[in-house]
Amino acid sequence: MKKIVLAAALVLLLGGLIALPLTQVQDNITNLVILVFLYVMLSSSWNILGGFTGQTNLGHAAFFGLGALATRLLWLEGKWPIIPSIMVGVGAAVALALLIGLPAFRLRGVYFAIGTLAMGQILNVTVGNVLPEISAIPPKDLATYALLPRYYVFLALAVVTVVAAYVLANSRLGLGMMAVREGEDAAESLGVSALQHKLLALIISASLAGLAGGAFAFYHVGYYPSFPFGPTWTFDSVMVAYLGGTGTVIGPVIGSIFYVVVKELLALRLADYHLIIFGALFVLVVLFMPGGLVEAWSKIRKVLTHGGAPTPPPQPAKREAGPLAKERSELSE
Partner 1 sequence: MLLQLLPQSIVFGILVGALYGLAAVGLSLVFGVTKFLNVAHGELLMLGGYATFWLFQLLKFDPFLSLPLSILFLLVIGVVLYQLVFVRMVKLPEEAKVKNTMLVGFGLSLILQNIALRLWTADDRGVTTAYSRIAYTVLDTRFPLIRVVSLVISLVALLALHQFLKRTYAGKAIRATVEDWEAASLMGIDVHRIYLLSFLIGAALAGVAGSLVSVGYSIAPGMGLEWTLKSLIVMVLGGLGSFVGTFVGGIVLGLTESLAGLAISGSYREVVGLALFILVLIFRPQGLFGAKER
Query: Which residues make up the interface to partner 1 (CB under 8 A)?
Result: 56, 103, 106-107, 109-111, 113-115, 117-119, 121-122, 125-126, 129, 231, 235, 238-239, 242, 272-273, 275-276, 278-280, 282-283, 286-287, 290
The least CB distance from residue 165 to partner 1, in Å, is 21
With CA atoms as reference, report the closest residue to 228 among 103, 80, 71, 64: 64
Contact 245, 294 (CB under 8 A): yes
Strand positions, DSSP E, the chain: 135-136, 222-223
Q: Which residue's CB is nearer to partner 1, number 88 or number 243?
A: 243
For 67, 87, 101, the CA distances from 94, given in Å and listed in that order, are 9, 11, 10
DSSP 310: P
DSSP β-ladder status, 135-136 and 222-223: antiparallel
The least CB distance from residue 124 to partner 1, in Å, is 9
The least CB distance from residue 111 to partner 1, in Å, is 6
Q: Which residue's CB is nearer to partner 1, number 288 or number 308?
A: 288
The least CB distance from residue 288 to partner 1, in Å, is 8
Q: Which residue's CB is nearer to partner 1, number 233 or number 278?
A: 278
The least CB distance from residue 27 to partner 1, in Å, is 29
The least CB distance from residue 271 to partner 1, in Å, is 11
Q: Which residue's CB is nearer to partner 1, number 107 or number 250?
A: 107
CB within 8 Å of 44: residues ≥ 6 apart = 161, 162, 165, 208, 241, 249, 252, 253
Q: Which residue's CB is nearer to partner 1, number 16 or number 132?
A: 132
With CA atoms as reference, report the closest residue to 69 among 81, 86, 46, 83: 86
CA–CA gap between residue 15 and residue 158 (Å, rounded): 14
For 23, 69, 166, 183, 326, the CA distances from 169, given in Å and listed in that order, are 35, 30, 5, 17, 50
- CA atoms lying within 13 Å on the CB side of residue 5: 2
The least CB distance from residue 280 to partner 1, in Å, is 6
Q: Which residue's CB is nearer to partner 1, number 214 or number 230?
A: 230
Q: Which residue's CB is nearer to partner 1, number 151 or number 278?
A: 278
Strand positions, DSSP E, 93-193: 135-136
As a whole number of angstroms, the longest Cα–Cα distance in the chain is: 95
CA–CA gap between residue 313 and residue 302 (Å, rounded): 15
The least CB distance from residue 110 to partner 1, in Å, is 5
